[in-house]
Amino acid sequence: MTFDSLLDAMERDLAGELRVEDLAGAGFVSRTQLYREFYSATGHSVKEYVRKRRLSRALALIKHTDLPLLQIAQDCGFGSQQALCKGVKAATGQSPLQYKAGGQEYYFPPGGGRQAYTVTVSSETIPPTLRLRYYDSRLQGIENRALAWLFAEKPGYQGRIFGRNGAQRGPKLCYELYIECHPSESADSPGTPAEGADQPEFTGAFAKTSCPNIEAEISAAWDYLYDGWLKASMFAQGPRPWFEEYIHANGQVKRLTLYLPVEKRPGFHKIRLCRCDDMHFLVARRAGAGAEEAASQAVMAFLAAHHPALAQSARQFYVSAAPEGGPGLRLVRGDSYACGITLMAPLRLPPDCGVELVTHPAGEYAVLEGDCCGDSGAYQSVLAAWMEGLGLQAAAAPFAVYEADRGFDEKNIRIKLHWPIKK
């Protein structure tokens, strides 16, 4: 059994006992070898990895479903509802209900990584600061050299310190420090590598996470914020620049808080994991240029000829790109589409009528709800990233249902993107 196969097996049985002896036997290795190889690959012991994956999955279910806590505890391998509540409190500082209603997002990815990140979204007020621009010819370690310069010039400084990359000046690279300090108190003077300027107080919405002051850990945390959390969240990056806050004492920085400015993603509302009943659609399939429009026109022409009342009352419309290969968490695009309308029950169709019935069976679906979007692929990357974070596997290609119950103006049309999930 390969290591990836071992991780896949663990994902499928997170609710089970997952004894180390059984895992070692399945991989034909000793317990000692399993411990060593597992820690080398994930940065965690087997026990800690399983605990964090169970917690990550449970918190996602708490946030995005209405399942009872007892069922979530059972489905995610917790011995009881009380054990689940205790684990949530230890990881987030909140009860499950507080976590569901709040802005925190705990995430521990399948396959591990160096740490799990807790992301909070809140409005933050950054105090008035003095900006110090530090210039150096070397990029690597420029942040720590800027901090060393600051602590040397201002020994005993205890105020808040923020930082971010600045604009290069000639051959010199720049790192900007922002400190709670009036310009008259600064160490700026001829011959120093920094220059100062006042920065007023400001307030904004930020996604925040923290990490140790280790270059690899800082890069991994930023990568997760941008490439993991942001893509799967209801937020987009805001107009302000990112920055870091240095948590320090006695001239030593132990941890950083990363600030990513965010704003509510236009048109994006929520993702949920839910069980859907059988869904029936009357569709036509077309390929080539203008495939979506041609398929839609074919369905409406059939309805006008055979079921005019349905044509007039249709308010929910189906769009699916033809899958290329098996199901997977990838964008489904192309020039082949199935388009049609939602049916309350299957119709009896005449032979060779140019349309067909499509039924998506009852089961578990990841569903993203949002405003009207001409290309449902714009939402697919968001939903795919969210599913990957939960370790969910797609059972089939996604499809979109556009709902025009409130009218056909674009502002009144809603989209529900459905992605079938394997159990």
As a whole number of angstroms, the distance between CA 130 and CA 141 comes to: 22
Average pLDDT over residues 235-245: 91
State the pLDDT at residue 296.
94
Domain span(s) for CATH 3.20.80.10 in the chain: 114-265, 269-420
Q: 114-265 maps to which CATH number?
A: 3.20.80.10
**Res. 187 pLDDT band, cuts 50 70 90:** very low
Residue 16's CB is within 10 A of a number of other CB atoms, namely 11
Question: What superfamily does domain 269-420 belong to in CATH?
Answer: Regulatory factor, effector binding domain (3.20.80.10)
Domain span(s) for CATH 1.10.10.60 in the chain: 3-113
Task: Please give the residue that has the higher pLDDT: either 390 or 96.
Answer: 96
State the pLDDT at residue 188.
43
**Res. 186 pLDDT band, cuts 50 70 90:** very low
State which H helix or E strand residue 137 sits in. Answer: none
Is 80 exceeded by the pLDDT of residue 183? no
State the pLDDT at residue 113.
53
Is 60 exceeded by the pLDDT of residue 192? no
Q: 31 in helix, strand or coil?
A: helix
Question: Is residue 33 within 8 Å of residue 240, measured between CB atoms?
Answer: no
Is 90 exceeded by the pLDDT of residue 145? yes
Is 60 exceeded by the pLDDT of residue 99? yes
- What integer best gives the mean pLDDT of the chain? 84
Residue 238's CB is within 10 A of a number of other CB atoms, namely 16
Task: Please give the residue that has the higher pLDDT: either 196 or 408.
Answer: 408
Average pLDDT over residues 69-75: 93
State the pLDDT at residue 182.
54
Question: Is residue 285 within 8 Å of residue 318, measured between CB atoms?
Answer: no
Average pLDDT over residues 268-288: 90
Q: 3-113 maps to which CATH number?
A: 1.10.10.60
Nearest to 400 by CA among 328, 338, 327: 338
Alpha helices in 208-280 (DSSP H): 215-223
State the pLDDT at residue 181.
67
Q: Which of 28-32, 95-99, 199-203, 256-260 has the lowest mean pLDDT?
A: 28-32
Which 8-state DSSP code applies to residue 116? -
Question: Is residue 302 within 8 Å of residue 351, measured between CB atoms?
Answer: no
Average pLDDT over residues 239-255: 92
Q: Which of 64-68, 162-166, 184-188, 227-231 has the lowest mean pLDDT?
A: 184-188
Q: Which of 110-114, 165-169, 324-328, 416-420 has the lowest mean pLDDT?
A: 324-328
Average pLDDT over residues 4-20: 79
Dihedrals φ, ψ of 281, to 5°? -140, 145
Dihedrals φ, ψ of 259, to 5°? -115, 115
As a whole number of angstroms, the distance between CA 52 and CA 110 comes to: 10
State the pLDDT at residue 68.
94
Residue with tokens 């007023």: 200
Residue 184 corresponds to which tokens in the numbers above?
Answer: 């008259």
As a whole number of angstroms, the distance between CA 324 and CA 82 comes to: 45
As a whole number of angstroms, the distance between CA 222 and CA 258 comes to: 8
pLDDT digits (tens, 9 = 90+) for 323-363: 544 455 555 555 789 999 999 988 889 999 999 999 999 99
Average pLDDT over residues 187-207: 66
Tell me what percent of the residues of the chain surpass a pLDDT of 70: 87
Residues 6+ apart with CB under 8 A from 240: 202, 204, 261
State the pLDDT at residue 46.
84
Is 90 exceeded by the pLDDT of residue 281? yes
State the pLDDT at residue 21.
73
Highest mean pLDDT among 59-63, 85-89, 137-141, 155-159: 85-89
**Res. 29 pLDDT band, cuts 50 70 90:** low
pLDDT digits (tens, 9 = 90+) for 102-134: 877 787 777 765 556 788 888 888 999 999 999
DSSP letter string, 281-343: EEEEEEESTTHHHHHHHHHHHHHHHH-HHHHHH--EEEEEEPP-SS--SS---SSEEEEEEEE
pLDDT digits (tens, 9 = 90+) for 356-366: 999 999 999 99
The overall pTM is greater than 0.75: no
Average pLDDT over residues 189-215: 75
Rg value, the chain, Cα = 27
Average pLDDT over residues 376-384: 76
pLDDT digits (tens, 9 = 90+) for 296-315: 999 999 999 999 999 999 99
State which H helix or E strand residue 121 sits in. Answer: strand 117-126
